[in-house]
């Protein structure tokens, strides 16, 4: 079987060794004589596994003891509602930073529960490249409130590498697409959340890291399944969680520790992105429209100069073992999602194909 490289934005590529371990243990997990999808979430073996999983994650991200780790339902979209429902009884008029599609979606959802203030930070250079304003130029309100932002916009391929620092503000970060890709100073945030299907594992579970003091402001109207206080009290088992997703997440955390933690991961992600962007900058056949300081390391977007060749490129790429390169329908073009599990050889194979395609159709 020829090697396939999965550039899908999510569900995304998983490390091959983890897929093999899942296959090996699927029918008899941990010598329980039961499949991992049949095991009780209340069983002592699975509870022991979840405790180890949390311990590994706390170690990888250096999460302080005054933060709770929750494993929730509903993906990041569920958290678009959960955030205001859990915070706006205290912080009535939050600030929402608009850097792209997903941050705008979060703002639109928050409007159902409160009166958020939107702050647009996207700009164009003279060469029509997209960039976002530096954090020090974000015109946030003077009120004691929370600020929501998304540091990586998967659709456009925009990443914010600065960490926001504002006095008397609760920083909420949607790290769905770049969690575990680089180091984060957790103590700068009140809440960090991330859906699983990028760098954590399969869809079905959502990570929430929340500072203890923020567990007390939940609205009475909040559905129980979105109530952070109830989820914390029940150790994320208010109802039956997605056992399989939680299991794979635990394997991924273990894998990250094994290969060198976020020091290695971040260095490797920088290298992969640098190689691909260097090639894109060397040719006029493909065009990336993101200003260099905001180019995503996770989602590299580009367009063919001859746009009519886009579908041809995608179809030919699949025949060369390169899957999931179609850009989002809102922006078109090509999107190569190069999350943690994408090997350097996948980047090299993509560039080899791009050179071949350019030579064939120039």
Which residues carry a binding-site annotation for L-glutamate?
42
The dihedral formed by the CA atoms of 293, 260, 47 and 33, expressed in degrees to the nearest 10: 120
Residue numbers in the known binding site are 42, 76-77, 102, 154, 174, 197, 239-240
Catalytic: 174? yes
Phi/psi at 334 (nearest 5 deg)? -120, 145
Sheet architecture: strand order including 206-211:
67-72, 206-211, 191-195, 169-174, 145-149, 95-98, 117-120
Contact 140, 147 (CB under 8 A): yes
Candidate list 29, 56, 102, 169, residue with the active-site label: 102
DSSP line for 211-224: EGGGGG---TTS-G
Bridge-based pairing of strands 122-124 and 130-132 is antiparallel
Catalytic residue among 56, 174, 227, 272: 174
Please tell me what DSSP assigns to residue 176. Answer: T
Question: Is the previous residue joined to 175 through a cis bond, with omega within 30 degrees of 0?
Answer: no
What are the Cα distances from residue 54, in Å, to 61, 82, 246, 356?
A: 11, 21, 10, 45
Catalytic site includes residue 198: yes
Tell which residue, 280, 4, 268, has the closest CA to residue 157: 280
Judge whether 182 and 173 are in contact, CB under 8 Å.
no
Of 138, 169, 198, 326, catalytic = 198
Annotated binding-site residue numbers for pyridoxal 5'-phosphate: 76-77, 102, 154, 174, 197, 239-240
Residues serving a catalytic function are 102, 174, 198
């Amino acid at each position: 079987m020829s090697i396939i490289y999965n550039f899908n934005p999510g569900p995304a590529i998983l490390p091959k060794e983890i897929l093999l371990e899942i296959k090996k243990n699927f029918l008899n997990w941990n010598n329980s004589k039961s499949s991992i999808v049949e095991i009780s979430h209340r069983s002592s073996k699975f509870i022991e596994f979840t405790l180890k999983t949390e311990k590994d994650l706390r170690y990888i991200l250096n999460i302080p003891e005054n933060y709770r780790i929750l494993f929730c339902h509903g993906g990041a979209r569920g958290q678009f509602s959960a955030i205001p429902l859990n915070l706006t009884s205290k912080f009535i008029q939050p600030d929402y930073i608009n850097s792209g599609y997903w941050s705008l979606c979060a703002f639109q959802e928050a409007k159902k529960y409160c009166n958020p203030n939107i702050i647009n930070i996207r700009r164009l250079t003279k060469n029509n490249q997209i960039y976002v304003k530096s954090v020090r130029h974000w015109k946030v309100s003077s009120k004691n409130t929370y600020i929501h932002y998304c540091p990586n916009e998967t659709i456009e391929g925009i990443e914010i590498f600065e960490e926001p620092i504002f006095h008397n503000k609760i920083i909420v970060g949607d790290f769905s697409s770049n969690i575990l890709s680089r180091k984060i100073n957790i103590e700068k945030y009140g809440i960090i959340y991330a859906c699983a299907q990028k760098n954590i594992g399969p869809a079905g579970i959502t990570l929430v890291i929340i500072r203890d003091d923020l567990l007390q402001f939940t609205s009475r109207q909040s559905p129980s399944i979105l109530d952070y206080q109830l989820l914390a009290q029940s150790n994320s088992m208010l109802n039956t969680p997605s056992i399989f997703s939680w299991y794979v997440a635990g394997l991924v955390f273990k894998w990250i520790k094994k290969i060198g933690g976020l020091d290695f991961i971040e260095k490797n992600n920088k290298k992969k992105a640098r190689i691909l962007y260097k090639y894109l900058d060397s040719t006029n056949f493909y065009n990336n429209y993101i200003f260099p300081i905001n180019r995503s390391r996770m989602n590299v977007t580009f367009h063919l100069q001859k746009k009519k060749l886009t579908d041809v490129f995608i179809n030919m790429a699949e025949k060369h073992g390169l899957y999931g390169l179609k850009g989002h329908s809102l922006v078109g073009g090509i999107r190569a999602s190069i999350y943690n599990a994408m090997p350097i050889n996948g980047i090299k194979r993509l560039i080899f194909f791009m050179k071949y395609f350019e030579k064939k159709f120039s």
